[in-house]
């Protein structure tokens, strides 16, 4: 029964008692984060793309925890250049069985530049289907709505999906509600909103637009057990 904790923006930790993962470890610069990055003990760091609000503290945590970074081939090379020693590179459509479970990399429609002006190319952005403790969690990264979500929903029994609702850089609430129809997750948690003024959104509005899945609104620091 994995325990999933939301840390604000797109940062999520997943623990199953034995293993500890973090996805998009944006903590120290995250205005929503309620925890201190030095307290995070994740041994696996999954990064969807090179934007600062996703790669965040990945390199710091990789060193602090002697953790393995899991990301795309291009982003993996950047992480190595930045000093990460243990990097598992994958690519879209591929999956791999790790000691904690399986990760499959999915498409995302977004950008992938790194650095203050996003000028360092880090390959295409991705999402993750993570299977741990018998449960499947979908973290789509930053993306617009795409029809292949229907295929992802058909081929996977998703227990929990996170979906961005903040608009401007990603899906808005209406598109995220359509994504829920495609993905058919048992539970859905909205994220990537209210971090800054430009992505303000009302998660209760999302809740009223979603019909067939349970919407769980998590405040930063809150957890749910699957
Ligand atoms: Ni982004
Ligand atoms: Mn983002």
Report residue 139 as tokens: 């973290």
Instruction: State the ligand closest to the CA atom of 167.
Output: 2
Instruction: State the ligand closest to the CA atom of 11.
Output: 2
pTM of the predicted structure, to 2 decimals: 0.97
Q: Which residue's structure tokens are 């029809």?
A: 147
Instruction: State the ligand closest to the CA atom of 49.
Output: 1
Reply yes or no on whether the pLDDT at 116 is more than 90.
no
**How many Å lie between the centroid of ligand 1 and the Cα of residue 53?**
7
Instruction: State the ligand closest to the CA atom of 198.
Output: 2
Mean pLDDT of the chain: 97
**How many Å lie between the centroid of ligand 2 and the Cα of residue 86?**
24
Reply yes or no on whether the pLDDT at 110 is more than 90.
yes
Q: Check residue 85 and give its pLDDT.
A: 97
When comparing pLDDT for 17 and 44, which is higher?
44
**How many Å lie between the centroid of ligand 2 and the Cα of residue 98?**
26
Q: Measure Cα distances from 50 to 26, 58, 97, 200 in Å.
A: 11, 10, 24, 22
Instruction: State the ligand closest to the CA atom of 124.
Output: 1
What percent of the chain stands above pLDDT 70?
100
* Region 9-34 average pLDDT: 97
**How many Å lie between the centroid of ligand 1 and the Cα of residue 51?**
5
What topology is assigned to 3-218 in CATH? Metallo-beta-lactamase; Chain A (3.60.15)
Report residue 87 as tokens: 């990097």
Per-domain residue ranges for the chain?
3-218
């Amino acid at each position: 029964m994995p325990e999933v904790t939301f840390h604000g923006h797109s940062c999520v930790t997943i623990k199953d008692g034995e293993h500890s993962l973090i996805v998009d470890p944006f903590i120290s610069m995250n205005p929503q984060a309620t925890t201190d990055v030095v307290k995070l003990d994740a041994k696996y760091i999954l990064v969807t793309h090179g934007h600062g609000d996703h790669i965040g503290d990945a390199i710091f945590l990789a060193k602090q925890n002697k953790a393995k970074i899991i990301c795309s081939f291009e982003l993996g090379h950047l992480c190595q250049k930045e000093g990460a020693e243990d990097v598992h590179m994958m690519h879209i459509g591929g999956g791999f069985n790790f000691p904690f479970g399986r990760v499959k990399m999915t498409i995302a429609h977004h950008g992938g530049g790194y650095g203050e002006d996003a000028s360092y190319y880090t390959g295409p952005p991705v999402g993750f289907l993570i299977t741990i403790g018998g449960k499947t969690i979908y973290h789509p990264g930053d993306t617009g709505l795409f029809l292949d979500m229907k295929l992802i929903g058909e081929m996977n029994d998703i227990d929990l999906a996170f979906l961005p609702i903040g608009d401007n850089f990603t899906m808005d609430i209406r598109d995220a509600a359509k994504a829920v129809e495609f993905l058919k997750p048992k539970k859905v948690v909205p994220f990537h909103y209210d971090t800054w003024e430009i992505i303000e959104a009302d998660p209760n509005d999302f809740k009223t637009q979603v019909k067939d899945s349970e919407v769980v609104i998590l405040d930063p620091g809150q957890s749910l057990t699957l």
